[in-house]
Amino acid sequence: MEQQPDDRESFTAWATTRRPRLLRTATFLTGDRGRAEDLVQEALTKVAQRWPRLRDGSPDAYARQILVRDNISWWRRNRLELVSDVPDPGRTAPGDTGVERRLLLLDALRRLTERQRAVLVLRYFDDLSEAEIALVLGVSAGTVKSTAHLALRRLRELAPELSDLLSLETS
Amino acid sequence: MTDSALRDLFHDAAPSLDGPGPAAIDRAWRDGTRRRVGARVAVVGSVAATVAVVTGVALVGGSDGRVAPDPSVDAPTSTPTPPVTGPPVAEQVGKYAGADVWWAPSVTDESSLPPLSVAQLPPVVDLDAAQEEAVGEPVVGLFSGRGERAFALTASQRVIEIDTSRLETLTDEAGNRRNPLSSYSLSADRQSAFFIQKSSLEVLDFVTGEWTTIDTPDWLAEEARWMMPDQIWLPSRLGDDSGGTIHPVGPGVTTTATIDWVRGWSGPDDQPWGPVVFGRGGTAQAAFAGLDLVSPTRFAAPEVIFVDQRGERSVLAFDRGPGEEGTRVKGCCIPRAWIDEDTVLFSSVSTEGQRILAWDVGTPTVHLVSDIRGPASLTALADLS
């Protein structure tokens, strides 16, 4: 577990590759760019703190776990003054149905519970399996499955225009 | 459409982000390294303070497929060092089932523990000074007294005696009288609590002051747990901790559900009991331990708290004391909440009174957080992590 001379180098290489993705995940989770950057910074710091143990293991999984759990903790502490921004959906021209669908998705995501949103983001953006999501959230795979089902159902209610995308079958 | 179409939409909707990556990564490395070094200094200091007066940890074997003790590891072999002046600390005494085992400071040392300020918890929770009035805000802790008496510590640190006059006297199936609060009574959003009745749950919304009744089969309410801020789970039968039904608080339909609740860890001869406290740091649960800690001054088979931090296991063991002043009661020490990923809060009840203490898991550091005074016991604490 001792620090090796190349630890900083290997951490920097890992973080440089992963930070943009983590930032996108965190922006989905929080709906707020500034808070996403704070979340990612804290996650990277915690990974750095444990790098001698994590470097040969799963730093990605640990970083995602910190992102999701810190976000839920933040929300619990601040739920009475929760303010969310919808991230910029992109630069496509107005009237583009693609833009409308992105806005619908982001707006609907914002209205889910933190855990529901986390399950969908980890599944459909980060492409994690149910077992991997369960590890991140600290719940069983069964709970992930039922949460995903509820989240998709809620998403259908909030954004019926996207119902063609929102199959309730979760596999 | 398929999953892949939704995945595509997520990827299309992902924001394009540019930012000061290298500077942020440098800062993360510096801060992370600083924290790591700080933690190591604390551990080194603790080892120096450990006096190897404990003769060893007799490991209890088992072959039933549960967690097996590691017979290859035993008590620490570091050279004993003279005790150093300073606050009481936990002493590392060996390993059990692969976990580091620590003796908690004695009851008489608790009042000398270094204080730890936790934003949501005052240094003294004086239940004698509780006012009987509307709660009107989220609640951090619940306390149960004799009969149906119940107290709340609010988010703004008011101490309130809850009006429970609508509740009936409660006995368990064996006829033993009990308080209607359980360790699982407080909702995760801290806005509600359920009170157990023989054939119902009575749910109080602290913010609005409204009560909601959920009818239940007889006795099953004893093992209720919150699922969501507006859903409560009941087992199908007492002792079944997975199969059950989910009841909405308010309008809605009851559904059946199998829930794999998060579990703590324990060794083959341990008797875990009480709530599994789950938070950012991992899990923690009390147990009557099968491990046989042999010591000239301490009882064998102590009460313990088993902690699992994402696979890193630790045990905090509690000596009952000499049997007179400075004696812990049976079931003395129960984990209550995590305040961050490294620190678990637990309650300690003894002839000296009730306290909330904090253990920096895997280190000798134990803090005094709150003294609890008055006619009730801490029963539930919000997750503070």
- Alpha-carbon gap: A141 to the closest alpha carbon of chain B (Å): 8
pLDDT digits (tens, 9 = 90+) for A104-116: 888 888 888 888 8
Residues B207 and B157 in one domain: yes
Q: Please indicate whether residue A120 or residue B270 has the higher confidence score (pLDDT).
A: A120
Coil, strand or helix: which one is B362? coil
Do B71 and B101 have their domain in common?
Answer: yes
Helix (H) or strand (E) holding B1: none
Q: Kindly report the nearest CA distance between residue A48 and chain B, in angstroms.
A: 5
For residue B368, what are the β-bridge partners? B115, B357
**In whole angstroms, what separates CA A126 from the centre of its chain?**
8
Q: What is the pLDDT of residue B245?
A: 92
> Is B176 in the same domain as B277?
no
Inter-chain CB pairs, A–B, below 8 Å: 135
Nearest to A11 among B29, B189, B257 (CB): B29
Do A7 and A51 form a contact (C-beta atoms < 8 A)?
Answer: yes
- Distance from C-alpha of A47 to C-alpha of B302, rounded to nearest angstrom: 36
B61 lies in some domain = yes
Q: Indicate yes or no: CB of B19 within 8 angstroms of CB of A23.
A: yes
- List chain A residues with CB under 8 Å of B261: 140
> What pLDDT digit, counting tens, does each position of B44-93 carry?
333 333 322 222 232 222 323 223 333 222 333 333 333 445 688 998 88
Domain match, B147 and B215 both: yes
Q: Verify that B167 and B280 share a domain, yes or no.
A: no
B137: which 2 tokens?
């805000």
Amino acid identity, position B253: V
Contact across the interface for A51 and B3, Cβ inside 8 Å: no
CB atoms within 10 A of CB A88: 14
B373 and B274 in a common domain: yes
pLDDT of residue B159: 96
How far, in Å, are A48, A141, B3, B19 from residue A16 at the CA level? 13, 31, 29, 11
Q: Does B90 share its domain with B179?
A: no
One domain for residues B111 and B135: no
Residues of A in contact with B32 (CB under 8 A): 44-51
Q: Is residue B385 part of a domain?
A: yes
Alpha carbon B273 to its chain's center? 12
**pLDDT tens, chain B, 385 aa long:** 457 888 888 888 887 766 667 888 988 998 888 776 654 443 333 333 332 222 223 222 232 322 333 322 233 333 333 344 568 899 888 888 888 899 999 888 898 888 888 889 999 999 999 999 999 999 999 999 999 999 999 999 999 999 999 999 998 877 888 999 999 999 999 999 999 999 999 999 999 999 999 999 998 899 999 988 889 999 988 877 778 899 999 888 888 888 878 888 887 778 889 999 988 888 999 998 877 665 545 555 578 999 998 788 999 999 877 666 678 888 899 999 999 888 999 999 998 889 999 999 989 999 999 999 999 999 999 988 8
Q: Which residue of A has its CA nearest to B119?
A: A77
> Mapping DSSP to helix (H, G, I), strand (E, B) and coil, where does residue B353 land?
strand
Min Cα separation A42/chain B (Å): 7
Strand order in the sheet with B255-258: B225-228, B231-235, B243-248, B255-258
Residue among A27, A45, A106 minimizing CB distance to B28: A45
CA distance A103 to chain B (A): 8
- Taking CB atoms and an 8 Å limit, are B31 and A79 in contact across chains? no
Residues B321 and B276 in one domain: yes
Contact between chains at A41 and B385 (C-beta distance less than 8 A): no
- Identify whether B322 is part of a domain: yes
Asked, colleague to colleague, whether A1-78 and A96-171 share their fold, the answer is no
The pLDDT of residue B20 is 61
Q: Using alpha carbons only, what angle is made at residue B147 by residues B146 and B150, rounded to the nearest 5 degrees?
A: 70
Class of the CATH domain delimited by A1-78: mainly alpha
| Matching residue, tokens 């895997």 | B362
Model confidence pLDDT, tens digit, residues A13-56:
999 999 999 999 999 998 888 888 888 998 999 889 888 878 77
User: What fold characterizes domain A96-171?
Assistant: Arc Repressor Mutant, subunit A (1.10.10)
Question: What was the pLDDT predicted at A62?
Answer: 85
Q: How close does chain B come to A158, measured CA to CA in Å?
A: 15
Separation between Cα atoms, residue A106 and residue A113, nearest integer Å = 13
Domain boundaries, chain A: 1-78, 96-171
B103 and B136 share one domain: no
Pairing of strands B312-318, B99-103: parallel
Residues in chain B: 385
Could you tell me if residue B342 is inside a domain?
Answer: no
Alpha helices per DSSP H over chain A: 7-30, 33-49, 51-54, 59-78, 97-110, 114-120, 130-137, 141-158
- For residue B309, being part of any structural domain is answered with yes
Q: Which domain holds residue B110?
A: 54-116+266-327+369-385
B147 alpha-carbon distance from chain centroid = 24
Query: What pLDDT was estimated at residue A119?
Result: 92
Strand ordering across the sheet containing B282-288 = B91-96, B99-103, B312-318, B303-309, B282-288, B271-279
> How close A59 comes to chain B (CA, Å)?
13
Is B257 domain-assigned? no
Domain assignment present for B206? yes
**A8 contacts B29? CB cut-off 8 A:** yes
For residue B385, give both structure tokens.
């992590």
The structural domain count of chain B equals 2
Q: Is B209 found in the same domain as B129?
A: yes
Quick one: what percent of chain A has pLDDT higher than 90? 19
Element (H or E) spanning B376, and its range? Answer: strand B376-381
Cβ pair B10:A124 closer than 8 A = yes
> Given a cut of 60, is residue A63 above it in pLDDT?
yes
What pLDDT score was predicted for residue B248?
92
Q: In b/e form, how buried is each residue of A117-151, taking b as 16+ CB within 10 angstroms?
A: bbbbbbbbbbebebebbbbbbbbbeebbbbbbebb
**SS3 at position B146:** coil
| pLDDT at site A84 | 38
Question: Position of tokens 């601040």?
Answer: A78
Q: Are residues B101 and B131 in the same domain?
A: no
Residues of A in contact with B2 (CB under 8 A): 167
Residue numbers in A near B139 (CB within 8 A) = none
Instruction: Give residue B33's region: left, alpha or beta (phi > 0; psi -120 to 50).
Output: alpha
Across the interface, do A142 and B188 touch by the CB < 8 Å criterion? no
